[in-house]
Amino acid sequence: MTNSETKATLSFSDGSPALEMPIYKGSIGPDVIDIRKLYGATGMFTYDPGFMSTAACNSSITYIDGDKGELLYRGYPIEQLAVNGGDFLETCYLLLNGELPNADQKKEFVATVTNHTMVHEQMQFFFRGFRRDAHPMSVLVGTVGALASFYHDSLDINDPHHREVSAIRLIAKMPTLVAMAYKYSIGQPFVYPRNDLSYSANFMHMMFSTPCEPYKTNEVLVRALDRILILHADHEQNASTSTVRLAGSSGANPFACIAAGIACLWGPAHGGANEAALSMLEEIGSVDNIPHFIAQVKDKNSGVKLMGFGHRVYKNYDPRAKLMRETCYEVLQELGLQDDPLFKLAMALEKIALEDEYFVSRKLYPNVDFYSGIVQRALGIPTALFTGIFALARTVGWIAQWKEMISDPEQKIGRPRQLFVGAAKRDVPPIDKR
């Protein structure tokens, strides 16, 4: 970040002295006003619920231009990474290290991740403590947090080697834990990882094979899963990533921080949207019901939202949604499901919404989750696990952002303040006067 020659001046209508504040420039995107001296100089805070105008950190990992509908990982457009960028582990390497790997770096990285995919055998007993019908996200919050109780040798956040090992462990073990959560829910034995398979193929093997029958991986389906992972790998300072950073700012260990991110991702306004979008399509049922549904969405009292539509940052088409729609088409073709009624319904709903004044005037476009539920369902992933797949993909983004934060000399514990609107100081009345 560089200092801008322009300064910002904050003046007050009551004649209090004005405050000059520095402005910093990033490499692209909006400049920021440095307000750190504001409270000391004026005794005032800024008020920004939902952080609509707040840059909480400087970062060089992911850039979004919401007006253009552009998403860059370390400068590379998501469209290029998804089509020509290699597999998910190349994206992981890029997010963690800043550059795409050469052949030797890739080989070494794949070998390192592959050799960390097993979880401590005792993790199985944690699983047994959960009800079989527990939501997989609750299982993941618990088991990912519990990793900290097994891997004491990588918990020193001030040691770069420990940070590196924790990052690899999290990326490597998440597929194993997500697949274990699934197997537990259906009462099947846990399946161990296979080192001869790619990251995504191994995940499908752990999900779908049983001791009685191996799972035959299908290249189109593995590529589709890989694309889901690439598209969800990072997304700047979103709610769950900010949660990870905030948890990490206190010095908490990485496993605990990622568990906090998973908890935040669970919400329907964030990662839970893919599950909600699919349920919504199922509820609408047929193209004939779309007008009635759209009327409900427009009625503010109904509480109904078009799930998979709208985004805090994108005020244009989410670039990931286009790629996901393409993948959806490919997967359904491969499985002979091209006439899938939900896909047809989703496309009809998208078309109608994109032409409707309500959505146009609010710049509401499909986000990545509008189509990802249909793809996941076609891959055989149960609806309740959709957000778990998102967490698996986002782990690399969370851990890359966490590592960046830990090594940032400007990093401080995250501690927002408030505008207090409750009772001022008063005396506790005697018990018989209450």
Q: What are the residues binding ligand ACO (CB under 6 A)? A: 269-271, 273, 297, 305-312, 362, 364, 367-369
Instruction: Give the residue with the Cβ less far from ligand ACO, 203 or 309.
Output: 309
Angle at the Cα of 314 from the Cα atoms of 65 and 91, rounded to 5 degrees: 65
Q: Least separation, in Å, of the C-beta of 154 and ligand ACO? A: 29
Our CB check for ligand ACO shows the closer of 194 and 312 to be: 312
Whichever of 47 and 125 has its CB closer to ligand ACO, that residue is 47
363 token code pair: 């710049």
Conformational region of residue 375, where left means phi above 0, alpha means psi within -120 to 50, and beta covers everything else? alpha
Count of CB atoms situated within 10 Å of the CB of 87: 19
Q: Which is nearer to ligand ACO, 101 or 272 (CB)?
A: 272
Residue with nearest beta carbon to ligand ACO:
310
The catalytic residue positions are 311, 369
User: What is residue 278's three-state secondary structure?
Assistant: helix
CB of 342 to ligand ACO, least distance (A): 16
Cα separation, 177 vs 273, in Å, equals: 22
Beta carbons within 10 angstroms of residue 348's beta carbon: 15
**Smallest separation, CB 170 to ligand ACO (Å):** 20
Pick 25 or 312: Cβ nearer ligand ACO: 312
For ligand ACO, give the closer residue by CB, 110 or 328.
328
Helix (H, G, I), strand (E, B) or coil at 378: helix
Q: Residue 19 pairs with which residues in a beta bridge?
A: 10
Alpha helices, DSSP H only, in 192-305?
Answer: 199-208, 219-231, 239-248, 254-265, 273-284, 290-298
Of 21, 32, 68, the closest CA to residue 237 belongs to 32
Q: Please, what is the minimum distance in Å from the beta carbon of residue 276 to ligand ACO? A: 7
- Rounded to the nearest whole angstrom, what is the least distance from the CB of residue 173 to ligand ACO in the complex? 23
Q: How far is the CB of 362 from ligand ACO (least distance, A)?
A: 4
Name, in order, each residue with C-beta under 8 angstroms of 78's C-beta and a sequence gap of 6 or more. Answer: 71, 72, 230, 231, 319, 320, 323
Neighbour order of strands in the sheet with 32-33: 2-10, 19-25, 32-33
DSSP state of 50: G
Q: What's 173-200 look like in SS3?
A: HHHHHHHHHHHHHHCCCCCCCCCCCCHH
Q: Whose structure tokens read 């582990």?
A: 89
